[in-house]
Amino acid sequence: MIEIDKFARQTYLANHDVDNVYDDITKLDPAELDDIDIFVFGSPCQSFSMQGNRRGLEDTRGTLVFYGLNIIKEKQPKYFIYENVKGMLNHDGGRTFAIIKEAFDELNYDIKYEVLNAKHYGAAQNRERLFIVGIRKDIDQDFTFPKPSKVNFCVNDFIVNCKYKDYTFDTTTIEVAIEKKKTDIKKVFILPHIKYGSDKKIYSTKGISPCLLSGNVRPKFYDEKNKIFRYMTETEMQHIQGFGLNFIFPVSNRQVRKQIGNSIYVGVLNEISKMLLPQQYFKADMAQTDTQELVAA
């Protein structure tokens, strides 16, 4: 496991028994690593996200992807899965992704990529992410991305009742929202005194959530079950992001939100893994929300 954020390491190790833990990929010699069957990685999305400054490869965080590629080149794992925001595809008119794709193509792998939305794989969340999947060329195996399904869930399905005292917000100036088009996200009210667009929106729990982000922006909802205006709780975010409710977050709520916003949605990774990996990598009793055990292996 490689993770520079000390709080993310703390959460990972609270849930997994891992022999080797590394903190800085830029100081890691790939030759010193043990052999790897499956390499799952990502790089900071702020360089490519619509929410960030979109400086792409000019941002040092954007270049971290190449350190992951160096590990693949050295250790030649059987499979790899890479995830980032879909903004990587069109940044700088597509030139950024062309450079990155060329680097992937130079590896000894058959590569496919696609943008998948978590809402089509069991999440009550609109979360579009780019996935790049590689199979080492000496392995005779086809791969197709999992097919999307209809949106079958809403935030109501993931509500975990608690005392909401710390999750309410001021609704003194609330106004009814006018929906211009029908979407899976149901915006029902706005707070006109708030300037920032997504911060002023209030959604219905009868719809899905907007994308959970790593910043300190929390989605605001009208809770149709409890008939109150409130923020989504960290436990509900955890549930919607696909982590089982037994998953441990031994960190502050602010860090929980950051880690959930930075995470891959577990259900998508689970579906890709089932399409990609031979059955010997799966435990017979593995539940959907236990995919993280596979990644840690």
| pLDDT in the model for residue 46 | 53
| pLDDT in the model for residue 275 | 95
Query: Could you read off the pLDDT of 30-49 as tens digits, one per residue?
Result: 999 999 999 999 876 555 44
Long-range CB contact pairs, 97-104, < 8 A, 24+: 99/57, 100/65, 103/65, 103/66, 103/69, 104/69, 104/132, 104/134
Quote the DSSP letter at residue 99.
Answer: H
Separation in Å, CA 239 to CA 55, 212, 253, 290:
32, 12, 14, 13
Q: Which residue numbers are catalytic? A: 45
Q: Which domains does the chain have, with CATH numbers?
A: 6-150+264-296 (3.40.50.150), 155-240 (3.90.120.10)
Taking alpha carbons only, the member of 31, 28, 8 closest to residue 18 is 8
- The sheet carrying 109-117 orders its strands as 38-42, 79-85, 128-136, 109-117
| pLDDT in the model for residue 58 | 52
Predicted TM-score of the model (pTM) = 0.86
Residue 161's pLDDT band (cuts 50, 70, 90) = confident
Query: Could you read off the pLDDT of 179-238 as tens digits, one per residue?
Result: 878 899 999 999 998 887 778 999 999 999 999 988 777 899 999 999 999 999 999 999
